[in-house]
């Protein structure tokens, strides 16, 4: 009996029963009805087990007291209680097995409580981590929204910057074009300045020569030798005093030949690129440029003859000196090339091109597009007439036999063709000698295509505007008042 009582004490069955009651009381309103019933059944089973053990102790205690010991107690307390509310059968298991089951149950309850506590701590940790994760997610969302706003702002700024950059590029291109135009103007001014400097140098050299000649005449006039009579022997005196035109003839010749080559290399290409904007046919463009150059030479030669006649008429009343009137007129023209009315010649050339049946032009534009080439060609041609002998263009006609001494073939020519299809640039002659070769296009069947094009090409119906017709009918000329005595 003492061992059974000790085991019952060691298992703390009543403490376990009390703990279960308190735990049930705490969770009664939280758990479900089935769980409450299970808890109650569990407590009843545990109470029954404890009561079974107590009855075993009661039986052992009564056996130790003898046959009659404790009979009064059993009669007065146990039997009435059993008869009224309780009937207990002896358990089918042994005392040791019952105690072992109680210990297992207590151990399971302890493990369950530990697992519950551990589970609750894990739940709290997970809730804490979940809260921190939610906070991090909110911060990441806020950063993402800030990054999106910054990206939108950057896109808008980039678009604005791109537009500003395009505007700057357009402005820089416009500035570059204006700078190129200014550079061309400066180059032309520089060429004019160099030309004026060369003319001034030639004039200074001529004046120095004339000064030396006058000093020699002054010395001879002071000498006792008699003065030569002005008779038929005056020609040697004229040969001893050359004019400025004769002194600068070689340098002007080289300069004008070089300028004629520059017309082919620079002004011709500029005019060709300008005409190609309105005319797709390269052959027609080259014909327009060739006819413009030829008409410019013809007009400049006519203007030179008229200008020379006016100069001779103006100089004849007051002319005296060792040189002839012809040399004096040429010398005056060389000194005063700027008096040449080049704009009148340009107008005459454009009017002549408007009525030329060999070339055509869109009606919405004008031959004034090539006025720069015409103006420079007229100036060069006018200055070439002051040389001795003067320079002129070689006669050219479509379908003529190709002359290798006067022309070179263009890159698109048929080099085995003997006839000229059309001319690209005229040849420059000095007498019968070729100074600068021209350029021509040679193709087979040139004469046939030329005759057919003449037969089927209609006459240009381009009507002259009133301003053109007035410019064509009235030719500008230099008035004699411009030829003042100071310029002579």
Q: Is 366 helix (H, G, I), strand (E, B) or coil?
A: coil
21-25, 34-38, 62-66, 468-472: which range is least confident on average?
468-472
Q: Do residues 341 and 477 make contact, with C-beta atoms less than 8 angstroms apart? A: yes
- The full DSSP string for 382-414 is HHHTTSSSPEEEPP--TTPBP-TTTEEE-TTS-
Q: Where are the alpha helices (DSSP H) in 263-368?
A: 268-275, 282-315, 325-335, 342-354
Classify residue 263 by its DSSP letter. I
Angle at 432 between CA 426 and CA 436, to 5 degrees: 40
pLDDT-above-70 percentage for the chain: 74
Q: What is the pLDDT of residue 284?
A: 92
Query: At residue 132, what are phi and psi to the nearest 5 degrees?
Result: -65, -40
For residue 454, is pLDDT > 60? no
Q: Kindly indicate the confidence band of residue 469, based on its pLDDT and cuts at 50, 70 and 90.
A: very low
Average pLDDT over residues 130-137: 92
3-state SS record for 4-60 = HHHHHHHHCHHHHHHHHHHHHHHHCCCCCHHHHHHHHHHHHHHHHHHHHHHHHHHHH
Instruction: Report the alpha-carbon distance of residue 359 to residue 434 in Å, rounded.
Output: 27
| Half-sphere exposure of residue 101: CA atoms within 13 angstroms, side-chain side | 16
Report which secondary-structure segment, H or E, holds 206.
helix 95-222
Letter string b/e over residues 252-261, b meaning 16 or more CB atoms within 10 A of that residue's CB: bbebbbebbe
Here the tokens at position 331 are 């010398």
pLDDT in tens, 117-126: 888 888 999 9
Average pLDDT over residues 23-48: 81
Instruction: Report the alpha-carbon distance of residue 472 to residue 150 in Å, rounded.
Output: 71
Q: Do residues 392 and 310 make contact, with C-beta atoms less than 8 angstroms apart? A: no
Instruction: Report the alpha-carbon distance of residue 382 to residue 48 in Å, rounded.
Output: 146
- State CA 166 to chain mean position distance: 8
Instruction: Report the alpha-carbon distance of residue 111 to residue 117 in Å, rounded.
Output: 10
User: pTM score > 0.85 for this model?
Assistant: no
pLDDT in tens, 175-230: 898 888 888 888 887 877 787 787 777 767 767 776 776 776 676 665 544 433 33
Instruction: Report the alpha-carbon distance of residue 101 to residue 123 in Å, rounded.
Output: 32
Instruction: Report the alpha-carbon distance of residue 440 to residue 396 in Å, rounded.
Output: 10
Q: What is the pLDDT of residue 409?
A: 93
Dihedral, 205, 207, 211, 213 alpha carbons, nearest 10: 70
Q: What is the pLDDT of residue 220?
A: 60
Question: Which residues have C-beta within 8 Å of that of residue 64, sequence separation ≥ 6?
Answer: 1
Which range, 156-165, 298-307, 320-329, is most confident?
298-307
* Cβ count within 10 A of residue 389: 10
Q: What is the pLDDT of residue 245?
A: 60
Report which secondary-structure segment, H or E, holds 258.
helix 249-262
pLDDT in tens, 335-367: 888 899 999 999 999 999 999 888 887 877 788
pLDDT-above-90 percentage for the chain: 30
- The full DSSP string for 78-130 is IHHHHHHH---PPPSS-HHHHHHHHHHHHHHHHHHHHHHHHHHHHHHHHHHHH
Here the tokens at position 480 are 């004699």
Q: Do residues 383 and 252 make contact, with C-beta atoms less than 8 angstroms apart? A: yes
Q: Do residues 432 and 460 make contact, with C-beta atoms less than 8 angstroms apart? A: no
Query: At residue 401, what are phi and psi to the nearest 5 degrees?
Result: -70, 135
């Amino acid at each position: 009996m003492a061992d059974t009582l000790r085991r019952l004490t060691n298992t703390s069955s009543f403490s376990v029963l009390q703990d279960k009651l308190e735990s049930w009381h705490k969770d009664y309103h939280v758990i479900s009805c089935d769980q409450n019933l299970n808890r109650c059944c569990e407590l009843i089973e545990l109470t029954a087990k404890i009561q079974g053990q107590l009855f075993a102790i009661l039986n052992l205690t009564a056996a130790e007291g003898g046959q009659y010991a404790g009979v009064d107690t059993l009669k007065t307390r146990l039997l009435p209680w059993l008869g009224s509310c309780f009937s207990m059968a002896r358990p089918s298991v042994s005392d040791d097995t019952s105690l072992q089951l109680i210990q297992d149950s207590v151990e399971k309850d302890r493990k369950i409580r530990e697992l519950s506590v551990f589970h609750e701590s894990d739940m709290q940790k997970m809730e804490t981590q979940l809260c921190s994760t939610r906070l991090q997610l909110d911060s990441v969302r806020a950063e993402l929204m800030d990054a999106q706003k910054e990206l939108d702002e950057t896109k808008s700024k980039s678009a604005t910057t791109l537009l500003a950059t395009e505007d700057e590029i357009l402005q820089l291109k416009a500035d570059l074009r204006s700078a190129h135009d200014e550079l061309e103007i400066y180059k032309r001014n520089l060429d004019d300045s160099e030309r004026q400097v060369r003319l001034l140098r030639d004039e200074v050299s001529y004046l120095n020569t004339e000064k030396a000649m006058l000093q020699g005449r002054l010395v001879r006039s002071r000498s006792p030798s008699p003065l030569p009579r002005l008779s038929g022997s005056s020609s040697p005196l004229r040969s001893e005093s050359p004019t400025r035109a004769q002194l600068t003839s070689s340098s002007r010749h080289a300069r004008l030949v070089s300028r004629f080559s520059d017309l082919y290399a620079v002004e011709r290409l500029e005019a060709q690129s300008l005409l190609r904007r309105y005319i797709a046919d390269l052959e027609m463009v080259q014909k327009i440029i060739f006819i413009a150059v030829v008409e410019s030479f013809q007009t400049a030669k006519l203007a030179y003859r008229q200008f020379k006649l006016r100069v001779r008429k103006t100089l004849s009343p007051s002319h005296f000196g060792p040189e002839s009137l012809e040399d004096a007129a040429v010398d005056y023209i060389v000194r005063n090339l700027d008096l040449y009315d080049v704009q009148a010649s340009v107008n005459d050339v454009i009017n002549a091109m408007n009525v030329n049946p060999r070339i055509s032009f869109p009606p919405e534009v004008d031959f004034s597009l090539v006025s720069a080439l015409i103006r420079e060609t007229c100036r060069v041609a006018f200055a070439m007439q002051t040389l001795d002998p003067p320079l002129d263009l070689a006669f050219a006609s479509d379908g003529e036999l190709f002359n290798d001494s006067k022309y070179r073939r263009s890159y698109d020519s048929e080099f085995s063709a003997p006839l000229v299809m059309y001319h690209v640039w005229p040849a420059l002659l000095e007498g019968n000698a070729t100074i600068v070769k021209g350029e021509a296009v040679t193709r087979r069947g040139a004469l046939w295509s030329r005759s057919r094009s003449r037969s089927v090409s209609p006459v240009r119906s381009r009507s002259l505007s009133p301003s053109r017709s007035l410019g064509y009918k009235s030719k500008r000329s230099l008035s004699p008042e411009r030829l003042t005595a100071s310029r002579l």
